[in-house]
Structure 1
């Protein structure tokens, strides 16, 4: 594919900025109500509440004494930095939130983060250093490979290990592992992605017009390959025809040949097992050949990349564990988190919309803090308590009773509708109805 002209790249950036601004307005007005003429009625700012159930919030009380130090490694530089900075922003937010509530048992919470430069070897070294400095607790890093690299020193030292984005759930960590973004750990480890594939199929089926043909284009990345394989197996059991199946190198930016093959197959649904900006590159390739796909599912796109495509992705489906429009966002804790995240996003120049990454990050902190509230600052006791109890998080109630301490699958389906992210499946938490007409 011919490189995107400078003007085209500038246009995409401008679109992303405009759409991100629109998303910010959407989030900050999420607690308002609309009258019959479409105007929005303002509501008071969310009152501070404790970030987890069972924790007392003593607003105005300054914590004292030795801090409770949580150590972590994040990819603040390198290719994973854009997403890792979301997790850094959430960590800073939660630390301030706890201290605004008077700390934990009157002690301040402190976040100590090291940059791993997006390299697993540095991740392991960072946790060895943090543990050697006797941090009280740890928080997992960003990315599947980094999570597995951290697991060795963290597990060996006996620390509880909450994680927010472990992309390789089949790789065993142990009873100290407490994942926030959960796949199905209740059965065979080789089928942990099947439940998510069923959720996607059920969402499509609910439209009354599910696809009869699918073309798969998947990045060679552990999570995306596993998700796509599960989806393909599920769809073929339902009689859906596979019209093409391409695996491309992680980091690919030239999608011209893939777009051409898709256009020739002209499937009802394009299944893009991609990450980051892959969706942008694929749609640009479609533009270059004048092809409009009937419908697209994108597994793990960055929210900014979808915003940058504007109307082109109207109707696109994607995985999600949380959206502000859903029943999951209708709690005091979720509303307060949303208000605070808006401010962090502005200050740190982050994408302003709370979606899977920010939600999973906060959920991981809720897991850790809930363990501390119930078992004290004692890793052995925290591990034992979490293994025996469920935790209420922004993404729902989580249990740690399956393979690799994954519980039930919490992946849901979101659709882009008129420029907004709308959770459409399952019905019990959905904020809208799927609009699918291939």
Structure 2
């Protein structure tokens, strides 16, 4: 949907290099093998000028192999581990930095260290989903270096729905901070399971929770998670952000989405298109190697903020933030300069 907003907007402005931009969108059904086949079709049969990466790490890796074989610039918005993208013409929209397994927990612990009583003990409970598991292992390294005492380290199968036993283990550990590698609805299910046994952590972080259901949950107030964009200042002052938010919100409501709010996932996809546009305009022609070189040497203004691609994996520097559920809404709380006016970081 974010891509649709971008394509509609750029065509209203006259297109790209004087031509209307046509988006050839094929459904890979979230299957990496399908992504590989469809990207080969895009290059060989459809003969598209430009490639935009699919959603999800596995599909991105499959599609990137095709891009590399044909020497195509490849911009993607959701690869969780930069180490999986050694292709020199690959550029990430999301500013994870070269080591998100370290940077993610650093921002979490930096935030909590700013509170009057920083956590001294921590528990790690994570899905075995590859990106979540890697971030949890990196997080444990960060916590150890900072002197936090690890009270629990627990892994569960991706797709787990019964969190009763896990909740009991968390309650027994009773950490100052729960680091949860929950994905999607797992965060809500974990909270429900803990609440059923009369327990909620004073401070809890969840990695990739479903934003709408989590924010609306009656027992989620104070919960934190990662973010790179929220529909609030100062993000809405970034390049194209106000227009993106307005158009995306309207389209999402018309489509009947249960959570029609512009947040990190949609913003990262939109930023990927902004990066592609900047590369084409910067070079002035369709030339994959020249566009890649231009991106390597230039800063691009996006809805996520200024984006650079120096360093390993063209990743640039990490620019991860922390958001918190406050009164049924997500509020960015760390770094402090990204808080909306008058917002605070709720302590336990």
Q: TM-score range by the shorter chain?
A: over 0.9
Distance 1:206 1:289 in 2: 30
Distance 2:85 2:51 in 1: 19
- Matching residue of 1:170: 83
Could you say if the C-alpha distance between residues 171 and 105 of structure 1 is closer, same or farther in structure 2, counting changes exceeding 3 Å? closer
1:418 to 303, 327, 337: 327
Tell me the secondary structure at the aligned position of residue 114 of structure 1.
coil
Provide, for residues 124-151 of structure 1, a one-character-per-residue CA deviation record: whole Å limited to 9, x for no partner.
Answer: 0010000112101111111111111111
Provide, for residues 356-377 of structure 1, a one-character-per-residue CA deviation record: whole Å limited to 9, x for no partner.
Answer: 1011111111111111111122
Mapping of residues 327-342 of structure 1, within 5 Å: 327-331=234-238, 333-342=240-249
Tell me the secondary structure at the aligned position of residue 75 of structure 2.
strand
Mapping of residues 387-426 of structure 1, within 5 Å: 387-426=296-335
- Matching residue of 2:115: 207
Distance 1:104 1:151 in 2: 24
1:97 aligns with 2:6: no
Say whether the 8 Å CA contact 2:216–2:328 is kept in structure 1.
no
What root-mean-square deviation, in Å, do the aligned CA atoms of Structure 1 and Structure 2 show? 1.4
Mapping of residues 263-412 of structure 1, within 5 Å: 263-309=171-217, 311-331=218-238, 333-350=240-257, 351-375=259-283, 376-412=285-321
**1:332 deviation in Å?**
6.3
Tell me the secondary structure at the aligned position of residue 244 of structure 1.
strand
2:29 to 96, 103, 117: 117
Say whether the 8 Å CA contact 1:179–1:405 is kept in structure 2.
yes
Say whether the 8 Å CA contact 1:182–1:410 is kept in structure 2.
yes
Say whether the 8 Å CA contact 1:316–1:415 is kept in structure 2.
yes
Say whether the 8 Å CA contact 2:132–2:181 is kept in structure 1.
yes
Max Rg structure:
1
Say whether the 8 Å CA contact 2:240–2:302 is kept in structure 1.
no
**1:315 deviation in Å?**
0.4
Distance 2:304 2:202 in 1: 31
Provide, for residues 64-104 of structure 1, a one-character-per-residue CA deviation record: whole Å limited to 9, x for no partner.
Answer: xxxxxxxxxxxxxxxxxxxxxxxxx1111111101111212
Instruction: Identify which range, 281-290 or 354-363, moves more after superposition.
Output: 281-290
Question: TM-score of the superposition, structure 2-length normalised?
Answer: 0.95
Distance 2:277 2:126 in 1: 37
Provide, for residues 178-225 of structure 1, a one-character-per-residue CA deviation record: whole Å limited to 9, x for no partner.
Answer: 10112222xxxxx44222222111111111221111111111122212
**1:428 deviation in Å?**
2.8
Instruction: Identify which range, 148-157 or 327-336, moves more after superposition.
Output: 327-336
1:152 aligns with 2:65: yes
Mapping of residues 27-106 of structure 1, within 5 Å: 89-106=1-18
Unaligned runs of 5+ in 1: 1-88, 186-190
1:259 aligns with 2:164: no
Instruction: Identify which range, 326-335 or 399-408, moves more after superposition.
Output: 326-335
Say whether the 8 Å CA contact 2:81–2:100 is kept in structure 1.
no
Say whether the 8 Å CA contact 1:175–1:387 is kept in structure 2.
no
Question: TM-score of the superposition, structure 1-length normalised?
Answer: 0.76
Could you say if the C-alpha distance between residues 287 and 427 of structure 1 is closer, same or farther in structure 2, counting changes exceeding 3 Å? closer
Distance 2:178 2:100 in 1: 23
Distance 2:167 2:30 in 1: 30
**1:266 deviation in Å?**
1.3
**1:109 deviation in Å?**
0.8
